[in-house]
Structure formats: C-alpha cells, structure tokens
Structure 1
Amino acid sequence: MKKRTVTLSVSVAALALIAVSCGSKSSSTTTAAPETTAAAVETSAAPETTAVTETTAAMSATALKDAGCPDPMVIQTDWFPEADHGWTYQLIGPNGTQDPKKGSYTGQVAGITLDIRAGGPAIGFASPAKQMYQDPSVWAAYVDTGDAIRNATTQPVVAVFASYEKSPQMIQWDPVKYPDVKTIADVGAAAGDGQIRVFEGAAYIDYLVGKGIWKASQVDTSYDGSPSLFVSKGDLFQQGYATAEIYAYQNLIDGWKKPIATALTYDAGFSIYQSAFSVKPESITKDAACLKVFVPMAQKAVVDYMADPKAVNDMLAGYGMAMNWTESSEGNAAATATMKEQGLVGDGITPIVGDMDCERIQKLIDEFNPIEKAANVEGVKDGLQCAEIIDNQFIDPSISLGF
C-alpha cells in the first residue's frame, strides 16, 4: 500500500491518509524539500506538455487495438492519483475523463479505452493484486516485488515494467535529535523499544526484523498516519515515502515545518521494484502481442513525464481534490523532483528505462523467502525463481531516460 501529499493546511485525519498508503542511500539525507520545487511548477507551458503527451499516447493510431489488447484496458493503481503514478496518466494526458466517484480516469489511447483506477480507499484498501484477482475487468496492476514474492502461490503475478528503479519507502527522523544516524541500520542501533512507528503488515518490516537489522520490540505497528506523535515527541523514527513526507513535513505539518532526515529501505537491502506494472502469469503468453506494444509505450510515457511533468501533475492535483484527497501541484512537482534527485527513477544498471535486474531480485528472493516461510506466510513458494515474477522480454532497449 502507499501514501500521498497534501494541500496547505494539513489535518491529522488528512495526514493519516497520506501515510496510510506508505506501507513505501547508503547515507541518510537531511532532506529538505527540493529547492527545485517552485521552479518545477513552472518548468514549461502546459501546451508543450500536452503535445508531448499526445505523441506518447498516439504512438500509432490503433496500435493497441491492432495488437488485440483488452478494451477497455483497466490498470489498477495502489492509491489516489498522484505523481508516483504520473507515467500511467501520461499515457492518456491531462485531458482525460475524470470520474471521482468511481476513482476512474479514462481516455482513448492507440485505438482502445484506457481506464486507470485509483487504489487505497477507492477499493477498500485491498492490494492491487488482490483486486486484479477479484475483478475480472482489471488487466494489470501495480505490485511491489516484496508482495509478489510473499504471495507467489496465492496471487501470482509477473512484472513486465518498472517505473521506479528504487522504492521511495523510507524511514524519517529529526536530524537535530539524531545527528549520527545515517542509515536504516543506524536507526536500529539508536531506537528504543516501540520507537520505530510503522504500519502493520509491510513486507519490508518482515525483512528488516528477519535480517536482524531491527528488533521486533523496536517496531510499533500502531502508526495510523497521524504526524502528531512524531511532532510532539521529537525522538521517534517513522515510516514515510520520499515523494510525500519530505515535502509535507517541511512545508505543511503544523508544529514541524523543517527538514527531516531520511534513509531508504532500498539501501538496507530490501531492493524491490515499487509498484511494478504486473499482469497475471497467463497474460505473458495470451497477451504477448499486446504487451509487446504496450510496454514500450509505458517506457516512453516515463521519459515524457519526467521531461515535462507539469500538465499531468496539475491535472492530478485537481483530480485528487475532486476525490476529497489532499493534493497540490506544488507537492506533485516536489515529488517529481525528488524522484530524479534521489535516483528513485532512472535507467538503473543499463541505459534502459523500465527493465528489471533479475540478479538483484533473486538475491532478495533468497533472503526474503526463508523469512516469510518461517513466519508461516501462506503465499510463499519454495524455490521461487526471479523469472517467475519478472519478465523483461517486452522492454524496448532503445528507450532511455538518460540518467
């Protein structure tokens, strides 16, 4: 599950929802919100962005229809519309049809109707994979690699494209209170019992405790997303999302409004692909022709969105507000800037956007599977191989972000 950012005044209830979605550097960052935030909002005029978006979506007038793609093509996301989902909305562009009551954003893309579905509260906080298995209209879903591993037998999925190179999932703390804490391991060394506040059930918690990086007694799973205890106590460690809390705590949280220090769970070894675009295993063969066309379009959408995000970010802010969610263009701009500044979005070890490193994931499987098996997690599969949950065959190697 995930998180999201807010508007200028943040209530406890609103912040609780921001963080409820967050489940998601070798050194920590005393993380001020990006100085590029204000500039990012003004990066370019909307018409230019729209033109880029239309080029992305238009790739071929009927390419997806001709490839036999489902129509409508329903993609289940993991939260309210937000910058983290920017590439998906980029496929349609800023002028799609919004249905805030249903949490559906639709538009014509290459001969079919693309339907992007909101997650989180919009689907009763079900995971996107669960929703895909419960609702036959859902063709693809955002699935974190950690969840793909621990649900390999109960809700099997295959990721075919990853918009994130690194997960934005992080732990935050007050850099003045803990000037020597730099990493997730340092958090474990510094925290007392119950001082690490997280949501219950997150895969990365199982990993960090199972690896001995943290002790179970240090973890408080009663966190509900409210910033009040973090602000009032001042000595807590708390989960967050680099694309949300860094901006929110510096600019929006009453009683704080200063930088926080952060460290990514990715850098502690939990090297998942966050919100990877995933389908059911049978789609790999049944929908191969469709995936061969769609995945390069998704790659191109990431490139276009990161190059010129303003029009989509502005639309997402308005759409989120229409869904009674707290969102702003400034927060979305800061999120996009953070994606690049912290290396969350990028080409990775190859000069290709969206491909996934099976060696990295096999290492994670080999470490994480025994932890979950020892905890009697139902969906664990003995001998799970990376190729069962990741498939790069549809990636176009010529498409690159250049960073």
Structure 2
Amino acid sequence: MKKRTVTLSVSVAALALIAVSCGSKSSSTTTAAPETTAASVETTAAPETTAVTETTAAMSATALKDAGCPDPMVIQTDWFPEADHGWTYQLIGPNGTQDPKKGSYTGQVAGITIDIRAGGPAIGYSSPAKQMYQDPDVWAAYVDTGDAIRNATTQPVVAVFASYEKSPQMIQWDPAKYPDVKTLADVGATAGEGQIRVFEGGAYIDYMVGKGIWKASQLDTSYDGSPSLFVSKGDLFQQGYATAEIYSYQNLIDGWKKPIATALTYDAGFTIYQSALSVKPESITKDAACLKAFVPMAQKALVDYMADPKAVNDMLAGYGTSMNWAESSEGNAAATVVMKEQGLVGDGVTPVAGDMDCERIQKLIDEFNPLEKAANVEGVKEGLQCAEIIDNQFIDPSISLGF
C-alpha cells in the first residue's frame, strides 16, 4: 500500500488538520544511498477535450476503440492529482474535464473516454488494487511491487508499465542535527526509540525491520502526515516523498524553510517499481489487444510529460487545489526536476521507457517473501515468480526517454 505524506503550502497548524494514509509506496535491497539535500471548492470543469494529444497523434484516432478497450477506461491512481501522476494526465492533456467532487478527470483519447480517478482520501484511503477488485469499472490501477508481492494471493495484479525506475519514497532528517547520517542504515544506527515517524503498514517498513536495518522499537507509526512534530522537535526521522518534501520543507513549511537530508528506500534495497500501472491477471489475455495499443501510448505520454511538463503541471496545480489539496505549479515543476536529477525516472537497464527488470524484482521477491511469510502476511505466495507480477510484452522497445 502507498503511504503518503501531507505537504501543504500553509502553516503547520493548518497542515495538522489533514491526516493522511494512502495506498502503497515503497521498495529496496541492502546498501543505502548517499543523502540528498535539497534544496472546499465546487466542481470546476474545464472544457471537455476531444482533441488528440501529441501523445496519441502518431496513432489512429480510434486506436483504443478499435482494440476493444473498455469505454470508459478507468485508471485508479493512489493519491490526489500531482506531478507523480503526470504521465497519466498527459494521456488526456491539460484540457480534460475535472470533477473535484468525484475525483475524476476525463477526456477523449483514441476513440474512447479515459477516466483518471484520484486515490487516497478520495477513495477512503483504500489501496488502488483493492479498489480495482471492489469496483468493476476500474480497469487498471497504480500498484507498488512490494504490495503486489505481499498480496499475490489475495489481490493478484500484473504490472504492464512503470513510470518510475526508482521509488521516490524516502526518509528525511535535519542535516544540521545529524551531519554524519547518510543512509537508512545510518538512520537505524542513530535513531532512538520512536524516532522514525512512518505511516503504519508500509511494505518498505516490513522490509527494513525484517532485514534488521531498523528495529521495530524505533518506529512511531502514529505519523498522520502533519509536519508539526518534525518541525517542533527537530531531531526526528520521517518518511516522505522526494518529489514533494524536498521542495515543501525548504520553501513552504512554516517553522522550517531550510534543506532536509534524505535517503531513498530504493537505495536501502527495497527496489520496487513505484505506482506501476497494473491490471488483473485475466486482463493479460482477455485485453491483450487493448494493452498492445495502450501501453505504448503510456510510454509516449511519459516521454512527452518529462520533455515538457508545464501545461499538465499547471493543470494539476489548479485541479488539486480544487480538491482541497494545496498544490502549486512551482512544486510540481520542482518534482519533475527531482525525478530526473535523482534518477527516479529514466530508461533503466535498457534504453526503453517503462519496462521493468525481472532479475531485479526476482531478487526482491526472494528477499521479501520470506520476511512477509515469517510475519504471517496473508497474501504471500510460496515460490512466487517475477513473471507472475510483471509483464513487459506490451512495451514498445523503440520508445525511449533518452536518459
């Protein structure tokens, strides 16, 4: 499940009003990374667009309809609209129809309607995979590899496209207070009892504790997304997202407004694919024609978004704000910079956008599965293979980010 932090551009007191605990975000192996210091509204509907975006222009104007894709095609995200979801909104472009009350963003793409659904509070903090199993209208959902592993028998999914090469899930701290802390192993060696603030239930937490990098006694799982305690105490370690907190703590959080140091869970060995676009296993055969048409469009949307994110980022800022999620174009722009600078988004092992490395994921499965089995996690599948949760067959190898 994705656990997300609240980072609104207002006072700490206002921030504390919003509690957060969302779907799923986390994944890593064993060596840790160097620190990174870094720097209620009524429906406001934009005019519905029927124009084919640059993303889809090279394809038939009815490619998805001709491929038998569901209409509408409902994609369940894991949080409020934000830069982390930029590629998905790029499919429609900045002129889609916004419904903040429903958390729905729709537009015509290649002969069908695509409906992008907000997650987190918009779906009662349910995980996207759970939502896909509960709501028959949801065709695809964002699912982290860690959750795909530990829910392999209870909510099985197959990832067909990954926008993130590395998860932006991280731990943050004050570099002035802890100048010698560089990695998550250092965090474990430094933190006292209850000093690591996290949302309860994150897959990466199971990994960190199971591998002995952290002790369970060091965790404070009462974290609700508010920055107030981190700001007031000054000596805590706290979970966050590199694409959000690096900017917000330096620029927006009253009482802080200085750099934070960070280390990615990915670099501690939890090497998941964050928010990978996933479908139910039966869709791999039942919807093969649709996936063959759609996945290359997703790849191209990622390429287009990373090349020129401003229009979509500006739209996301307004749309997010209309859902009572304080967001800014500046914050979204900073997020896309972090994506590139920290290697969160990129082609990876192959020069291909959106494909996934099964060798890497099998290694994670072999490490993580025994930990979850020992913890009596219900959804663990004995002998799980990467090919059961990842499928690259619909990826177009000619589409590359170029970095």
TM-score under structure 1 length normalisation: 0.91
Q: How many aligned residue pairs are there?
A: 403
Q: Distance in 2 between matches of 1:92 and 1:194?
A: 44
Q: Distance in 2 between matches of 1:397 and 1:18?
A: 42
Is the contact between residue 39 and residue 260 of structure 2 (CA under 8 Å) also seen in structure 1?
A: no
Compared with structure 1, are the counterparts of its residues 215 and 28 closer, same or farther at alpha carbon in structure 2 (3 Å cutoff)? closer
Tell me the residue number matched to 2:394: 394
Compared with structure 1, are the counterparts of its residues 45 and 14 closer, same or farther at alpha carbon in structure 2 (3 Å cutoff)? closer
Give the C-alpha shift of residue 293 in structure 1.
0.6
Deviations 1:59-103 (A, max 9, x none): 320000000000000000000000000000000000000011100
My pick for the range that moved more, 34-43 or 95-104, is 34-43
Secondary structure of the corresponding residue to residue 40 of structure 1: coil
Give the C-alpha shift of residue 54 in structure 1.
3.4
Give the C-alpha shift of residue 228 in structure 1.
1.1
Is the contact between residue 5 and residue 327 of structure 1 (CA under 8 Å) also seen in structure 2?
A: no
Tell me the residue number matched to 1:354: 354
**Runs in 1 of length 4+ with deviation above 2 angstroms?**
1-9, 11-59
Compared with structure 1, are the counterparts of its residues 173 and 7 closer, same or farther at alpha carbon in structure 2 (3 Å cutoff)? closer
After the TM superposition, which residues 277-296 of structure 1 pair with which residues of structure 2 at under 5 Å, given as runs?
Answer: 277-296=277-296
Deviations 1:153-212 (A, max 9, x none): 000000000000000000000001111100010100111111101000000000000000
Give the C-alpha shift of residue 375 in structure 1.
0.8
Give the C-alpha shift of residue 229 in structure 1.
1.1
Compared with structure 1, are the counterparts of its residues 177 and 171 closer, same or farther at alpha carbon in structure 2 (3 Å cutoff)? same
Is the contact between residue 27 and residue 182 of structure 1 (CA under 8 Å) also seen in structure 2?
A: no
Give the C-alpha shift of residue 380 in structure 1.
0.5
Is the contact between residue 249 and residue 259 of structure 1 (CA under 8 Å) also seen in structure 2?
A: yes
Compared with structure 1, are the counterparts of its residues 173 and 50 closer, same or farther at alpha carbon in structure 2 (3 Å cutoff)? farther
My pick for the range that moved more, 199-208 or 8-17, is 8-17
Gapped runs of 5+ residues in structure 1? none
Secondary structure of the corresponding residue to residue 48 of structure 1: coil
Secondary structure of the corresponding residue to residue 48 of structure 2: helix
Secondary structure of the corresponding residue to residue 41 of structure 1: coil
Give the C-alpha shift of residue 10 in structure 1.
1.8
Is the contact between residue 231 and residue 256 of structure 1 (CA under 8 Å) also seen in structure 2?
A: yes
Compared with structure 1, are the counterparts of its residues 68 and 47 closer, same or farther at alpha carbon in structure 2 (3 Å cutoff)? closer
Compared with structure 1, are the counterparts of its residues 357 and 306 closer, same or farther at alpha carbon in structure 2 (3 Å cutoff)? same
Secondary structure of the corresponding residue to residue 240 of structure 2: strand
Is the contact between residue 172 and residue 262 of structure 1 (CA under 8 Å) also seen in structure 2?
A: yes
Is the contact between residue 299 and residue 353 of structure 2 (CA under 8 Å) also seen in structure 1?
A: yes
Compared with structure 1, are the counterparts of its residues 392 and 7 closer, same or farther at alpha carbon in structure 2 (3 Å cutoff)? closer
Deviations 1:198-249 (A, max 9, x none): 0000000000000001111111111111111111111110000001100110
Q: Distance in 2 between matches of 1:334 and 1:30?
A: 29
Gapped runs of 5+ residues in structure 2? none
Secondary structure of the corresponding residue to residue 340 of structure 1: helix
Compared with structure 1, are the counterparts of its residues 267 and 46 closer, same or farther at alpha carbon in structure 2 (3 Å cutoff)? farther
Give the C-alpha shift of residue 16 in structure 1.
5.3
Q: Distance in 2 between matches of 1:9 and 1:346?
A: 29
After the TM superposition, which residues 298-309 of structure 1 pair with which residues of structure 2 at under 5 Å, given as runs?
Answer: 298-309=298-309
Compared with structure 1, are the counterparts of its residues 41 and 61 closer, same or farther at alpha carbon in structure 2 (3 Å cutoff)? farther
Compared with structure 1, are the counterparts of its residues 188 and 164 closer, same or farther at alpha carbon in structure 2 (3 Å cutoff)? same
Q: Distance in 2 between matches of 1:234 and 1:283?
A: 48
Compared with structure 1, are the counterparts of its residues 46 and 97 closer, same or farther at alpha carbon in structure 2 (3 Å cutoff)? closer
Deviations 1:242-292 (A, max 9, x none): 011001100011110000000000000000000000000000000000000
Is the contact between residue 77 and residue 116 of structure 2 (CA under 8 Å) also seen in structure 1?
A: yes
Is the contact between residue 157 and residue 279 of structure 1 (CA under 8 Å) also seen in structure 2?
A: yes
Compared with structure 1, are the counterparts of its residues 33 and 324 closer, same or farther at alpha carbon in structure 2 (3 Å cutoff)? farther
My pick for the range that moved more, 18-27 or 284-293, is 18-27
Give the C-alpha shift of residue 325 in structure 1.
1.0
Is the contact between residue 27 and residue 270 of structure 2 (CA under 8 Å) also seen in structure 1?
A: no
Give the C-alpha shift of residue 324 in structure 1.
1.2
Is the contact between residue 39 and residue 250 of structure 2 (CA under 8 Å) also seen in structure 1?
A: no
Q: Distance in 2 between matches of 1:266 and 1:186?
A: 15
Tell me the residue number matched to 1:228: 228
Is the contact between residue 173 and residue 238 of structure 2 (CA under 8 Å) also seen in structure 1?
A: yes
TM-score under structure 2 length normalisation: 0.91
| Identical pairs, percent | 93
Is the contact between residue 44 and residue 310 of structure 1 (CA under 8 Å) also seen in structure 2?
A: no
Which structure features the higher share of helix residues? 1
**RMSD (Å) for aligned C-alpha atoms:** 5.1
Is the contact between residue 38 and residue 246 of structure 2 (CA under 8 Å) also seen in structure 1?
A: no
Q: Distance in 1 between matches of 2:284 and 2:29?
A: 40
Compared with structure 1, are the counterparts of its residues 168 and 19 closer, same or farther at alpha carbon in structure 2 (3 Å cutoff)? farther
Compared with structure 1, are the counterparts of its residues 380 and 392 closer, same or farther at alpha carbon in structure 2 (3 Å cutoff)? same
After the TM superposition, which residues 67-78 of structure 1 pair with which residues of structure 2 at under 5 Å, given as runs?
Answer: 67-78=67-78
Is the contact between residue 5 and residue 331 of structure 1 (CA under 8 Å) also seen in structure 2?
A: no
